[in-house]
Each structure stands twice: as structure tokens, then as C-alpha cells.
Chain A
Amino acid sequence: MASKNLLGSQVKRLLTSLSDHGNQHLTEVETDLVQTTYLLSEAIDKLSASFMKVHQGVTAQQEIMNQLQGGAELTPEIESQLQVLQGEIAQNINAAVTGLQFQDMTSQLIGRTVRRIAGLRDVLTAVSSSSAVMAPETQGDEMVAMLHDINKAMEDQSNKLESVLWKAVSQTHMESGDIELF
């Protein structure tokens, strides 16, 4: 009777752990993918806007150059207009450079996701390897001991995975980050 109770308890622990660890890792994967989507979406919006503004600025500059080539006088107003346009173009190129850094951040998030999925596969492999040695006729205390070992192997593998996957990217926006001089 005691053996049956222990067996039930180990089976329950195994199923609960599988569910808990699986959920925990999949939730992290989901969070990283959602964050990646935000960053990509914001980067594309910013890059598109910067590209259009640079295009508008260059077109406006070209129109002025055409007028000057056609014999129009270079007045202080036109000179100032050219300077303003140049400043706007530089500002939009800077914004584009900030937006282009999405690749660095999203590749870190995707790399973390890939490592977590590979780690989760290792967790499941650890369960499978441990259960492979279990004969169909195994029962009683032997079964309890085996289930205990499977539980331990799975929990160790899952905790090991969690400890090596630190979160290096917390950004959810493509705004330039803080600067601190020590």
C-alpha cells in the first residue's frame, strides 16, 4: 500500500514537473518572441519614416540646385534653406542608424530562444533516456526509485538551462539608450 502511494506520488511529481518546467520555458520563449516582434516592428516603422524624410530632403535640395543651375541667384534665404535641409537629412540619417541596430538586439533574443528550445529538447531527452532503462514489468520500490531518478534528472537539466540563459536584452523600444560616465 505504501509502495503504491509512493508510486502515485512520484508519477504525480513527474507529470507536474513536466508541465511546470515546460510551461516556464515556453512562456520565456513566447516573451522573447513578442519582444522581438515589437523591436522589429518599431525598427521598420522608424526606418521607413527616416527613409521617406531623407528622400524628401534630397528632393527638395535637388529642386533648389536645379533652380540655381537655371540661373537663379543664391540668396541668403536659399542658403539658409539649404542648411536647414542638410540638418534635417543628417538628423534623419542618425535616426536611421539608431533604427538599424535592431539586428543586434533581435539576434540576441532569437539566439536566446534557440538555445532555450535546444535546452528544452535536452530536458525531454533526459526524461526519455532515464525511462529507457525501465522494463515494462518494473514495479514497486524499483519503479519508485526509477521515477525519482527521472524527476531529479529532469529538474536538474531544467534548472541548469535556466541558469545559463540570462536576459541580456530588456529593451522593448528602438529609442536610444542611457549614457552614464563614471
Chain B
Amino acid sequence: MAKSILAVDDSGSLRQMVVFSLRAAGYQVTEAVDGQDGLEKAKMQTFDLVLTDQNMPRMDGLTLIRSLRAIPSYQRVPILMLTTESSDDMKAKGRAAGANGWLVKPFDPQRLTEVVKKVIG
């Protein structure tokens, strides 16, 4: 059975690129338009991995991660940030919130797939 991934980003074109890359590698990808939407979808189904942007309306990525980590079924689910933010300060905040990795945009589809494979197989 294909592993499931929740892709959270307010940019429709970026989500399209993530879906294109990960579906081609055999993953099942569900899209969410911002952190709030992502949290609602995550509560309906436990995904194998969450890939989230940082700067989004309604709820940002760090708040989403903290909210997910508060849910028992998401305490061990890998969460990766995919964002334009690249400062050490932001990375430290992401790590403290519970992120397992930090990917700086723009991403290369092959490298993204390699990382996802490494994390969830």
C-alpha cells in the first residue's frame, strides 16, 4: 500500500509541483491550502509524513507542527518543512517545534523524493 503524505502550502503552483514529484515516485499525496486546512485533514486521517510550508495565512507551519505534535497519533510522524525561509534562527524554531527536517525552496524533485524515501521508505 502506498505511503500517504500531507502536503501543506498556500501556493497552488507549488503544491502542484510537490504532488507531481511525489506521485511519480508512488506516494499518495493529499493537499492542504494552509496550516488550518492541514490540521483539519490531519485529524481525519493519520498520514505517514507531513510536508509543510512556513508562511501561510490562517495558520503558519510552526503552529501547525506544534498542533500536530500535541495529537498522540502525530507524535512520531515525520514532519518536514519546505519553505523559502533559510535562516538558522528559523531552522532552530522548526526543530524546537518538532520538525524532523528543513528543505529550502526551490526544491529539486529528485532530491525531494530521495529525502522522503530516506524518511519513510
Chain A residues in the interface with B (C-beta under 8 A)? 93-94, 97-105, 107-108, 168-171, 174-182
Contacts and interface: CB of A to CB of B under 8 A. Distances in A.
B91 A180 contact: yes
A19 B1 CA distance: 63
A171 B105 contact: yes
Interface in B82-118: 83-87, 91, 95, 99-111, 115, 118
Given A177-B103, A180-B91, A104 B14 contact: yes
A107 B11 contact: yes
Contacts of A177: 86, 103-107
A104 B109 contact: no
A104 B85 contact: no
Given A180-B102, A181-B115, A182-B101, A108 B107 contact: no
Nearest to A170: B86
Contacts of B91: 180
Given A171-B84, A181-B115, A105 B101 contact: no
B11 A94 contact: no
Interface residues of B, number: 32
B109 A182 contact: no
Interface of B: 9, 11, 13-14, 17, 20-21, 54-55, 83-87, 91, 95, 99-111, 115, 118-119
A179 B104 contact: yes
Contacts of B103: 177-180
A181 B106 CA distance: 17
A103 B21 contact: no
